[in-house]
Amino acid sequence: MLAVGPLRRARELGVLEVSLHQLRDYATNRHLQVDDVPYGGGQGMVMKPDPLVAAIEHVAAAGRPRRILLAARGNRFDQHRAEALARESSLLLVCGRYEGVDERVAAYVDEELSIGDFVLSGGELAAAVVLDAIVRHLPGVLGNTASAPDDSFATGLLEHPQYTRPWAFRGVEVPEILGSGDHDAIRRWRRQEALRTTLARRPDLLRGAPLDEADRAFLRSLGWHEDDG
Ligand SMILES: C[S@@+](CC[C@H](N)C(=O)[O-])C[C@H]1O[C@@H](n2cnc3c(N)ncnc32)[C@H](O)[C@@H]1O
């Protein structure tokens, strides 16, 4: 995953450096054990605090990273958080496994982040998701200086529909306006389609989206009531 797409580009540009750390390197017992049974009984194993905190402190000593523990109970990761984290000079992403980590580890991180209301088997995929979303906001990674300005959520709305060649696919043509060359009309159409998509799929987003009077009028024409969302 680090070797393809925007992550690869970010590394080639020198705006991203990733290093992976093996937790067992910080285990001090004979079997390099990093998990143990839960106090109080119960299913599964819990990650021990001593190797994990030793790893966090060792890695953090090389810089002053923002320390993030991936956890299902954490604050929900979203586009705004991705943008904000992209401004940090260094991040330390701590991945749990098994039944999770000893509660005392929480005192050694700055925040806990969740990528959604579901449980993964480990924090690695969550860390990869967080990393991928952040990298899109680093300068130059998407091939221009602005970072993904039209992406869903960047404008507070879902993105407008996208089309590419062929013009006609199994009898369905691309909306006429996109072939018109009229850039103002295309910008207006895209804005309205973003509003239409957001109203249909995520009306809750409209509550926080910056809308002007033309947006509101268009939404009202689709049956939206300001109080709905
Ligand atoms: C099997 S899960 C532990 C689940 C834990 N028993 C609970 O109910 O919250 C193992 C690890 O996966 C990661 N993980 C699971 N779900 C996640 C989510 N939604 N977001 C971020 N990390 C998650 C965390 O690092 C967690 O420590």
Report the SS3 class of residue 142. coil
Output the residue whose Cα is nearest ligand 1's atom 6. 99
What confidence score (pLDDT) does residue 226 get? 86
Tell me how far the alpha carbon of residue 126 lies from the centroid of ligand 1, in angstroms.
Answer: 9
Residues 190-208 have a mean pLDDT of 97
What confidence score (pLDDT) does residue 122 get? 98
- Residue 70 CB less than 6 A away from ligand 1: yes
Tell me how far the alpha carbon of residue 81 lies from the centroid of ligand 1, in angstroms.
Answer: 19
Tell me how far the alpha carbon of residue 120 lies from the centroid of ligand 1, in angstroms.
Answer: 5
Residues 5-9 have a mean pLDDT of 94
Q: How large is the greatest C-alpha to C-alpha distance in the chain, in angstroms?
A: 71
Phi, psi of 99 (to 5 degrees): -90, 5
pTM to 2 decimals? 0.92
- Residue 97 CB less than 6 A away from ligand 1: yes
The answer to whether residues 161 and 152 touch, using CB atoms and an 8 Å cutoff, is no
Tell me how far the alpha carbon of residue 43 lies from the centroid of ligand 1, in angstroms.
Answer: 15
